[in-house]
A and B are shown apart, each in its own frame.
Chain A
Amino acid sequence: MSAPFDLNDDTVVVIIGTGAGGGVLANELAQKGVSVVALEAGGRYLPDDYINDEWDSFGQLAWTDPRTTSGDWRVAKDFSGLPAWIVKAVGGTTIHWAGASLRFQEHEWKAKTAYGDVLGANLLDWPIDAAEMAPWYDLAEDKLKVTRTGGRDGLPGNNNFKVFEAGAKALGYEEVHTGRMAINSAEYDDRLPCQQTGFCFQGCKWGAKWSAAYTDIPRGEATGNLEVRDNSHVARILHDDSGKVTGVEYFDKDGNLQLQKARIVCVAGNSFESPRLLLNSASPMFPDGLANSSGQVGRNYMRHMTGSVYAVFDKPVRMWRGTTMAGIVQDEARHDPSRGFVGGFELETLSLGLPFMAAFLDPGAWGREFTSALDEYENMAGLWIVGEDMPQETNRVTLNHDVKDRWGLPVANVNFSDHPNDRAMRDYAYRKGAEIYDAVGATRTFPTPPYPSTHNLGTNRMSEKARDGVVNKWGQTHDIANLFISDGSQFTTGAAENPTLTIVALAIRQADHIARQMSSGEL
């Protein structure tokens, strides 16, 4: 059979969400000859559609369906209805992402062993390790054409990088470069090299940055084995009396409820929607939601320890010109408890345009302390801190039955509070960030609080034992053999690195596993 597929075709693999996890999985399975129906809540946008304007692009691409928040994180106060900044579109958040593509460090696969017991943290070792993942990382780096891997050159440094590099070297940092980026440093994969337009977060109009939207998705469709239905919001996953999943109910383009049958269902809606969907699929047989015998669905939500440092100089920097995030210091990524915390962090260059700077520099602030900073926008340099945060059982996604989305479904409430380790790491990283800029003559530096989460992880975590998590080492749920989790919600722990390369590597590996199990008849 080839696409399009019938609603009653129960031989297809249904994938929910088409971002880093779902989009890659869909293509990988299609390339292997597996029939796939991918259901995506958002619409289709290609490079010609992307907008070089922060708020207009946000309006075009961002997930703005209702969500609620609680906990002591500042996002719950400043952006109470927007816990995450992620995309609702074919290709998911790979349209917005900046492209930083780093492998986990070896010890990070075994955080519990490496860090020991940390009070209040629900640490666990991944059931896989660096050696197991190495070949899959190779494939992922080649798919994304990551710079500084596979013999590819690095990107040239922009103004923001040059300030950052000079400061970092003055401080004695050694691992300082323009990053390993899923942005073409030369023409690869029929895509142009980076043109330094500086709107990486708004979708790359040149296609220089890898995004599933214009690589994996159309390539999967070209096989005839993949059908992507956009504007299709999955409401519920269905199962039979034996406890196997049998299909999904979704609202189509026109708002009509449809039922797509399936042989296998893979959930890849990012770390809020994936657990929400499992919880909203509760049934008499599974009253706590699907795949939730451990009670861990929705728990251990991680968002990385983040923050930014912006610095003002007496001369122009014009940080917005060129790649948004091509610059990194890796010296602090190591685990070194003498700094007062476990785990490590990366420092990466970051720039926001004026409209987002006004919104995020110090949300809620007003008066001259704030405006005198913005007045120096042209002379600013900026960096982003991304470090490992501690999984905590109480940081979790639950259903908020008091608030319904347009389909009448309870929305996700996201509860988050920093762990003391997160705070200690952030304070230390803020100081280091400020020192970098002070070393090259900053006249003023600002610690900027975390933005609405861009990295969302852990809410359906991977575990060796069924009682500790939701999925096994293949992303297959412990409870239901033909139900998989294929996005960042599988993460057992977050590591210091930006997550997407790992999400992609896991998706390629999962496709291989699913195809093998299908042909052996196990699934």
Chain B
Amino acid sequence: MTSKTGPKGLSRRQLLLRASAAGASFVIGSGFIAAKDAAWASETAALKPETFATLVQMARDIYPHDRIGDEFYVIAVKGYDDPASAEDIEAGIEALDAAARGKGHASYLDTGWERDRVDILRGMEESAFFQTIRGGLVTGLYNQKAVWPVFGYEGESYSKGGYIDRGFDDINWI
């Protein structure tokens, strides 16, 4: 049977990812609106930069976590910046902007307050576009190992010998 392996410790890469996640969560506070000229937005491959920036804002408005930086939302939707999906995404974002205009805003990105953007999203939550984006975020956002520390989740534990000597029963307030 499997023998008890010794704790391996975190790899350099994992440590770096954790460090950047923790740093980002302090640098970028709540209410940060994705800027059209942000570096990652102008580097789009298949989508218009504005479209991608709108998509990132939409992602944050669907699953807003004030302690998670924009880069994680970027990673979560980056897969749509692809020729195969570009047409659908452009059309979906165009519909989103049209809905924003219908409520008196210049565009979704120019809708200044989260409350107003959420109101726009509520109006289209049954649409296939919204459901695709929301469904994709469930894994796209929450399955990024680098965001887990923000939630306290510790992930893989076997290589560290489990929690038998690391606090599986360390609760002290009950």
Interface residues of A (CB under 8 A from B): 47-48, 52-53, 55, 156-159, 162-163, 166, 190-192, 194-199, 205-207, 214, 315-318, 320-322, 353-355, 357-359, 364, 366-368, 370-371, 374-375, 377-378, 440
Contact = CB atoms under 8 A, between A and B. Distances in A.
A205 B158 CA distance: 7
Contact of B174 (A166, A364, A367, A370): A166
B138 A367 contact: no
B100 to A, nearest CB: 17
A440 B173 CA distance: 10
B157 A359 contact: no
A321 B168 CA distance: 5
B128 interface: no
A214 B169 CA distance: 29
A316 B152 contact: yes
Given A322-B169, A354-B151, A374-B142, 10 more contacts: A47-B1, A52-B158, A159-B167, A163-B171, A197-B157, A317-B171, A318-B152, A354-B153, A366-B62, A378-B151
B174 A162 contact: yes
A438 B96 CA distance: 42
B63 A366 contact: yes
Nearest to B130: A366
Contacts of A367: 62, 64, 118
Given A55-B139, A358-B138, A371-B64, A47 B171 contact: no
A194 B158 CA distance: 12
B31 interface: no
Contact of B155 (A48, A53, A214): A53
Given A197-B157, A198-B162, A192 B174 contact: no
Contacts of B166: 321
Nearest to A206: B2
A378 B158 contact: no
A52 B155 contact: yes
**Most chain B CB within a 10 A radius of its CB, from A156, A190, A368:** A368
Contact of A377 (B153, B157, B167, B168): B153
A198 B168 contact: yes
A191 B3 CA distance: 10
Contacts of A317: 171
**Most chain A CB within a 10 A radius of its CB, from B62, B143, B159:** B143
A196 B158 contact: no
A383 B152 CA distance: 20
Contacts of A318: 152, 154, 167, 170-171
Contacts of A359: 138-139, 142
Given A192-B2, A354-B142, A206 B162 contact: yes
Contacts of A353: 153, 155
B1 A207 contact: yes
B171 A159 contact: yes
Contacts of A205: 2, 158
B142 A196 contact: no
**Most chain B CB within a 10 A radius of its CB, from A157, A199, A353:** A353
**Most chain A CB within a 10 A radius of its CB, from B1, B154, B159:** B1
Contacts of B148: 354
A292 to B, nearest CB: 38
B68 to A, nearest CB: 9
Contacts of B142: 354-355, 357-359, 374
A95 B118 CA distance: 42
A359 B138 CA distance: 6
A165 B62 CA distance: 36
Given A197-B162, A367-B62, A190 B1 contact: yes
A76 B158 CA distance: 35
B64 A197 contact: no
Nearest to B67: A375
Contacts of A52: 155-159
A355 B139 contact: yes
9 contacts: A53-B156, A55-B143, A190-B1, A196-B164, A206-B158, A317-B171, A353-B153, A355-B139, A374-B65
Contacts of B153: 320, 353-354, 377-378
Contacts of B154: 318, 320-321
B47 to A, nearest CB: 22
B169 A199 contact: no
B65 A371 contact: yes
Interface in B129-155: 134, 138-139, 141-143, 148, 151-155
A519 B139 CA distance: 54
A55 B152 CA distance: 18
A158 B125 CA distance: 40
Contact of A192 (B4, B62, B155, B163): B4
A196 B162 contact: yes
Interface in B32-73: 62-65, 67
B123 to A, nearest CB: 13
Contacts of B163: 158, 195-198, 321-322
A342 to B, nearest CB: 35
